[in-house]
């Protein structure tokens, strides 16, 4: 009953805001709507489609043809009640995350029972209890439903709502060890490309938990095959390949430099044009390849944590991030609430999130409407926001490592006959 109340309250908040006069204001915010997820741009594409005009003739639409076809069906079926679809999808995402966290906590319980004999005697109080296993999935659900970032993402009617839904479906299928995880991952890749990094946790999950390289390879092959089929279907809709330039090409080359909460726009505005290729390669390597291999090696035994880490880094460094991406990642962190005691930057990160969330719209108003600030002020806020996210994920990962070390070698360590403490510098 209490869980139903949580879902009801989450739905009520979203429905109230999405039908209120604030919806348009929220949907226009650059922190929420980007060129990639704006429903306004989807509406423009659908209008061009209705007029018989090729929707990719201009530079406003960046959804794939298959997604545009799906959105067209939704508009025709639900009409003026389309906002209910976004609310229902968000509720379904929260439930999928709850199921995913529940299964993940079961896996942690089995791992803990299997390795308990190898743990140090003075580390027994670090073991998770039945209460921890039961509460973490509920916290995941609650954080997603009542996180301002995810609420505004839903109210703004961004297509990130659907991306989060399929990402949550992928995580649930991943934790259940189903090859079906390949399909939602292929759909998410076709929408925003960067989730291609999740092929690593998909492969490692079957290697670690199923002890099968055949299933691991089959999962990756299935995902690539589904992605290829989706891309081919997109081609067959118009018998033209130039949609690739408006989707993947737009994501990778970053031609639209309107301000957002990311880091790309400011650097590309300030730099000389002949350095553009260097910056493009540097930034895209940073968000795709740079962290993938070391994180995959270090956290290969925990694909769920690896997937969350990659999603977090993508939300920080991708070319067109939004609050919906960040809110989704934040809702996964309660899976590791047992690590919060190890976190060293918790107060700093909390303050940064609070201050930058308030300052962002304020500085934007001073810059655009009042004229008493400039781009440097707004980028300073987005840079602090990104730094807070970096501190948070590094703190979580280091806390995970520190807890592993304490479980095996004990909590009390001595250096030169004095108590020593493992700290993040």
What would the pLDDT profile of 188-225 be if each residue is shown by its tens digit? 999 999 999 999 999 999 998 888 899 999 999 999 99
What would the pLDDT profile of 239-257 be if each residue is shown by its tens digit? 899 889 999 999 999 999 8
What global pTM score does this model have?
0.93
- Indicate the number of domains in the chain: 1
Q: Identify whether 136 is part of a domain.
A: yes
Q: Could you give the CA distance from residue 7 to residue 40 in angstroms, rounded to a whole number?
A: 28
- Model confidence at 148: pLDDT above 90: yes
Q: Could you give the CA distance from residue 56 to residue 243 in angstroms, rounded to a whole number?
A: 6
- Model confidence at 115: pLDDT above 90: no
What would the pLDDT profile of 276-315 be if each residue is shown by its tens digit? 999 899 999 999 999 999 999 999 999 999 999 999 999 9
Percent of the chain with pLDDT strictly greater than 90: 73
Identify the pLDDT of residue 32. 95
Q: Identify whether 289 is part of a domain.
A: yes
Mean pLDDT over 8-15 rounds to 94
Q: Length of the chain in residues, anyone?
A: 425
Q: Identify whether 46 is part of a domain.
A: yes
pLDDT band at 414 (very low <50, low <70, confident <90, very high): low
Are the C-beta atoms of 354 and 347 separated by less than 8 Å?
A: no
Summarize the chain as % helix, strand, coil (round to 5).
Answer: 75, 0, 25
Q: Identify whether 211 is part of a domain.
A: yes
Q: Identify whether 411 is part of a domain.
A: yes
Q: What angle do CA 68, 72, 326 make, to 5 degrees?
A: 55
Which are the contacts of 274, defined by CB distance < 8 A and separation ≥ 6? none
Burial class for 265, CB neighbours closer than 10 Å (0-12, 13-18, 19+): buried
Identify the pLDDT of residue 371. 84
Are the C-beta atoms of 161 and 14 separated by less than 8 Å?
A: no
What would the pLDDT profile of 30-45 be if each residue is shown by its tens digit? 999 999 999 999 999 9
- Model confidence at 153: pLDDT above 60: yes
DSSP secondary structure string, 286-328? HHHTTTHHHHHHHTTT-HHHHHHHHHHHHHHHSSS--HHHHHH
416 lies in which domain range?
2-420
Are the C-beta atoms of 197 and 292 separated by less than 8 Å?
A: yes
Mean pLDDT over 265-273 rounds to 87
Which are the contacts of 12, defined by CB distance < 8 A and separation ≥ 6? none
Tell which residue, 133, 101, 153, 164, has the closest CA to residue 332.
101
Q: Could you give the CA distance from residue 262 to residue 315 in angstroms, rounded to a whole number?
A: 9
Mean pLDDT of the chain: 91
- Identify the DSSP state of 413: E
Which are the contacts of 145, defined by CB distance < 8 A and separation ≥ 6? 6, 7, 9, 10, 90, 91, 94
Kindly report the backbone phi and psi dihedral angles of residue 418, in degrees, each rounded to the nearest multiple of 5, phi listed first: -120, 150
Q: Identify whether 425 is part of a domain.
A: no
Tell which residue, 72, 75, 56, 67, has the closest CA to residue 231.
67
Least confidently predicted of 239-248, 334-343, 414-423: 414-423
- Model confidence at 410: pLDDT above 90: no
Are the C-beta atoms of 199 and 220 separated by less than 8 Å?
A: yes
Identify the pLDDT of residue 73. 94
Q: Could you give the CA distance from residue 99 to residue 91 in angstroms, rounded to a whole number?
A: 13
Identify the pLDDT of residue 372. 84
- Model confidence at 351: pLDDT above 90: yes
Of residues 316 and 421, which shows the higher confidence score?
316
Q: Could you give the CA distance from residue 38 to residue 212 in angstroms, rounded to a whole number?
A: 41
Q: Could you give the CA distance from residue 126 to residue 123 in angstroms, rounded to a whole number?
A: 5
Tell which residue, 234, 235, 206, has the closest CA to residue 218.
206
Which run of H or of E encompasses 115?
Answer: helix 82-115
Mean pLDDT over 227-245 rounds to 92
pLDDT band at 119 (very low <50, low <70, confident <90, very high): confident
Q: Could you give the CA distance from residue 19 to residue 23 in angstroms, rounded to a whole number?
A: 7
The SS3 call for residue 178 is coil
């Amino acid at each position: 009953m209490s869980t139903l109340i949580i879902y009801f309250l989450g739905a009520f908040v979203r429905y109230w805001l999405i039908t209120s006069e604030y919806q348009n204001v929220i949907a226009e915010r650059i922190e929420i709507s980007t060129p990639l997820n704006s429903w306004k741009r989807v509406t423009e594409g659908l209008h061009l489609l209705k007029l018989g005009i090729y929707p990719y003739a201009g530079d406003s639409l960046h959804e794939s043809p298959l997604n545009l076809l799906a959105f067209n069906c939704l508009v025709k079926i639900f009409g003026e009640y389309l906002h209910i679809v976004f609310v229902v999808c968000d509720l379904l995402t929260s439930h999928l995350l709850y199921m995913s966290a529940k299964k993940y906590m079961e896996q942690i319980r089995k791992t803990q029972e299997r390795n308990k004999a190898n743990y140090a005697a003075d580390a027994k109080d670090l073991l998770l209890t039945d209460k921890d296993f039961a509460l973490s999935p509920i916290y995941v659900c609650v954080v997603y439903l009542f996180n301002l970032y995810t609420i505004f993402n839903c109210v703004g009617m961004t297509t990130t709502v659907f991306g989060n839904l399929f990402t949550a479906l992928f995580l649930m299928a991943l934790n259940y060890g189903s090859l079906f995880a390949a399909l939602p991952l292929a759909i998410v890749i076709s929408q925003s490309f960067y989730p291609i990094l999740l092929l690593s946790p998909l492969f490692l999950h079957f290697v670690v938990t199923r002890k099968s390289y055949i299933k691991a390879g089959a999962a990756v092959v299935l995902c690539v095959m589904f992605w290829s089929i989706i891309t081919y279907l997109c081609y067959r809709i118009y018998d033209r390949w130039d949609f690739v330039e408006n989707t993947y090409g737009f994501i990778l080359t970053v031609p639209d430099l309107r301000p957002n909460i990311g880091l790309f726009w400011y650097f590309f505005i300030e730099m000389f044009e002949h350095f553009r290729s260097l910056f493009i390669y540097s930034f895209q390597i940073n968000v795709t390849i740079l962290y993938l291999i070391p994180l995959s090696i270090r956290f290969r035994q925990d694909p769920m944590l690896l997937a969350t880490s990659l999603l977090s880094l993508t939300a920080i460094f991708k070319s067109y991030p939004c609050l919906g991406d960040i809110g989704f990642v934040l809702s996964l962190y309660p899976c590791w609430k047992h690590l919060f005691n190890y976190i060293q930057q918790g107060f700093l990160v909390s303050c940064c999130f609070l201050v930058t969330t308030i300052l962002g719209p304020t500085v934007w108003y001073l810059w655009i409407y009042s004229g008493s600030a400039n781009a440097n002020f707004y980028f300073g806020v987005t840079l602090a926001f990104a730094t807070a996210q970096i501190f948070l994920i590094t703190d979580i990962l280091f806390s995970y490592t520190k807890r592993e070390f304490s479980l095996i070698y004990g909590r009390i360590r001595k250096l030169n006959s004095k108590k020593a403490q493992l700290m993040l510098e």
